Amino acid sequence: MTTVTEVRNSLVVPNGQSKANKGFRQIVISPQGEVRSVLSADRSGERSKRCTKQVARKGDLVLRHSWFPSTWEVLMFTDGELHNLGANGFAQHARALKALPKEADAWLAATEAGESYLPAGCGWDGVRTTNDLRKEQDIRALFIGLEGVEVDTPTGVQNWLDGVVRQASLSPFTGLPLNWSKAGQLPKELDAPAEYYDSSLAHVNEYTEWLLWYCDGRVERIVPEPTSGSWSSGYAHQDPEYYNALPLAMPDSVRTAIRLTRGAYRTNECDSYGCKWSMYKM
């Protein structure tokens, strides 16, 4: 059974759940056949449950393919629910259904196991959802004054803020606060936890950056020496060594600050990814 979540006069509709022997894929379109925008995407967890999600509003249609056996249905969102239109639904809405991109037809018909992400050009660019774009705008506004910062990376010089945005797009919302009214009290020191581990099986590179906004309008980015945590190498079969640098003092006249943790999360293979931050103010 398809799970949907009611949102006032709309429904958040998952685009599928694909297993080899059982599953479904579906797409939300307007009464005129326009593919509705992709709201969000589940990018973690069980592969068969990873999918994009769209919002259906009154009068919108959902074309669904379920298997096995292979079954095609047309549903309409009315009265706060999805209603199956039966066999007549295909004839009644033939024009809208024919307007679907060919990529969507092929995607719906596929029955292989895996993620159910709508193809690029069907409600999104295949990378960024509506929520991703909103989050990117909010993050860029949060890190005001750091737009032009460039940093050296293994692949060359890159824009620092672009890198944060990319990492944040893979990170849980819960670790990305945006409201300064809920910020904590400025700490007296810049603690800098870190973890580093490298082997043929996993790579962890977690470290701390501090972003400081001063009362006189200056903005500063600091990457302190690690004050806690450990580092080791699986290639050298060495015991871990521990970081213990003395923390830097919080500079005078800092108005607000963010402690940014890079590589804050772990994949199922124990590689680090994403980021999170904490916010502080005077």
pLDDT of residue 45: 79
Tokens 């990117």 sit on residue? 136
Which residues, given as ranges, of the chain have pLDDT below 70?
A: 1-8
- Asked if 235 and 198 count as a contact pair (C-beta separation under 8 A), the reply is yes
SS3 (DSSP) at 155: coil
pLDDT of residue 3: 61
pLDDT of residue 5: 59
Burial class from Cβ neighbours inside 10 Å (0-12, 13-18, 19+) for residue 226 reads: buried
Provide the whole-model pTM.
0.75
For residue range 96-121, list pLDDT tens digits in order: 999 999 999 999 999 888 999 999 99
- Asked if 262 and 277 count as a contact pair (C-beta separation under 8 A), the reply is no
pLDDT of residue 195: 97
